[in-house]
Amino acid sequence: MIPVRGYGGKTVAVLGLGRSGLTAARALEAGGAEAVAWDDGAAARDRAEGEGIVLRDLTQGGAFDGVSALIVSPGIPHLYPTPHPVIAAAWEAGVPVDNDIGLFFRSFGNGDWDKFDTTPRVIAVTGSNGKSTTSALIHHVLEEAGRPAQLAGNIGRGVLDIEPARDGEVVVLELSSYQTDLARALTPDIAVFTNLTPDHLDRHGGMGGYFAAKRRLFAEGGPDRAVIGVDEVEGRYLANQLAEDGAEMRVIRVSAERKLDGPGWAVFARKGFLAEWRGGRQAGSIDLRDIKGLPGAHNHQNACAAYGALRAIGLGPKAIERGFASFAGLPHRSQRIAEKDGVVFVNDSKATNVDAAAKALAAFPKIRWICGGLQKEGGLDGLASDHVLKAYVIGREAEAFARQLSCESEVCGTMAVAVARAVEEAEPGETVLLAPAAASFDQYDSFERRGEDFAEQVAACLTS
């Protein structure tokens, strides 16, 4: 655990008692603060109280008397579509509002670092799609290269739940827009921006607010190096804002669509080959085509971003290539779960929006596509693929979802029916792909549970 510094002997309130909230309360106590906590859900309050967390009803008048700060869990809106009443009350009381990411960055470094030969470093990864895979890939390569490393944030452990840094350690953080938007301290050594596509627009008041939340990691964080995906206009803008001139080496531009020219530092992938160019000369390359854990152009973009971050901390191209080759991929993200009679089954349940699903569809040549769920704002505009042989639509609104598709489709409703029909019709050389292009909450508690159901139904069909 990382004890929170700066609040010794003070009272700090915590709103939200999920994973990050509970960890924040414990880390505050470990740093000498008195933590008081609240959650809108009675079950969460009971669970926290059973673990020794002191509760205080922050919705009551006077609740912020004597409180030095309010720490808010990432799922709680603080601005759009409307501020949570407790946050609004903290503003009125003049109480600073922060989150666990802000606490981490103000508390991670300590006096023990003076004894280290190599100062620990933090790589923070944000973006709309691919940030989990990019973060996990960076962490995997570091471990394969024998470098001490920890993975936390929006993936794995909460940021305050990790162990204090060791000599030369690298902490890899996946950070969502919910986390970067509110943090009062953002000081990574390396910051990575994968891409930007519409998502969480209600929470950020539109695309401008969404991009602004991501941009804070770079504009306010002041990283030593910035790895920026430039395949969207926002990435090109951000890279330009951070660069002092065309030969800038602080910025590493990344693309999975085209060769990047110029005298600066760039990493790009074309036709399955990753290339690093620095100062107008090629400095490294990797053939990504046969790396099973990184299929498709979207994963090649992830590979380029990870490569840039790893090169920024001094890892060599050969060590990175070895780590890429042994990367198995993440569950529910282009995860190859089975193959039988020439048919491959891929679980990409994390493809919860149109852009992520489109990238998954582009990764395989002949697809029997399982899709559907709780649609996000904007519908299915822009989602089309010549690779789809047929769609098998699930979800409570499966008929409405199917009507928006330009390909042949069948309304199946449930995962069991969709998998059974796809298995029945699939032929050698085809891929049965779960890439829902929608949230899971109409039928499942999470995208993970949806992916698990897909894997279970596939296993049942293949063994029957």
Query: Are 450 and 319 in a shared domain?
Result: no
Q: Is the separation of the CB atoms in 133 and 333 below 8 Å? A: yes
Query: Are 87 and 141 in a shared domain?
Result: no
Query: Are 162 and 261 in a shared domain?
Result: yes
CA dist 325 and 113 (Å) reads 33
**Residue 413 — φ and ψ, nearest 5°?**
85, -60
For residue 278, the model assigns a pLDDT of 94
Q: Following DSSP, what letter does each residue of 247-258 receive, concatenated?
A: T-SSEEEEESSS
Query: Is residue 16 classed exposed, middle or buried when 0-12, 13-18 and 19+ CB atoms within 10 A define those classes?
Result: buried
**Domain end point (choices 269, 304, 325):** 325
Of 52, 64, 60, which is closest to residue 90 (Cα–Cα)? 64
Query: Are 264 and 411 in a shared domain?
Result: no
The answer to whether residue 5 sits within a structural domain is no
Q: Following DSSP, what letter does each residue of 227-274 receive, concatenated?
A: EEE-SSHHHHHHHHHH-SSTT-SSEEEEESSS---SSSEEEEEETTEE
User: Residue 23: which CATH number?
Assistant: 3.40.50.720
Query: Are 94 and 113 in a shared domain?
Result: no
Query: Are 406 and 367 in a shared domain?
Result: yes
Mean pLDDT per 10-residue section of the chain, whose length is 464 residues: 96 95 96 97 94 96 97 94 97 98 95 92 95 96 97 91 95 96 96 91 93 95 94 96 84 95 94 94 94 89 98 97 93 90 95 88 94 85 83 95 93 98 97 96 93 97 90
**Domain end point (choices 53, 80, 98):** 98
Which domain does 357 fall in, by range? 335-463
**Domain end point (choices 263, 297, 325):** 325
Query: Are 274 and 232 in a shared domain?
Result: yes
The answer to whether residue 164 sits within a structural domain is yes
pTM for the whole thing?
0.86
For residue 333, the model assigns a pLDDT of 87
Positive or negative, the Cα torsion across 238, 242, 248, 249?
negative
Length of the chain (residues):
464
> How many domains is the chain partitioned into structurally?
3
Query: Are 251 and 347 in a shared domain?
Result: no
For residue 382, the model assigns a pLDDT of 65
Query: Is residue 41 classed exposed, middle or buried when 0-12, 13-18 and 19+ CB atoms within 10 A define those classes?
Result: exposed
User: Residue 264: which CATH number?
Assistant: 3.40.1190.10
Query: Are 247 and 180 in a shared domain?
Result: yes
One-letter amino acid at 303 equals A
For residue 248, the model assigns a pLDDT of 76
The answer to whether residue 103 sits within a structural domain is no
The answer to whether residue 4 sits within a structural domain is no
The answer to whether residue 3 sits within a structural domain is no
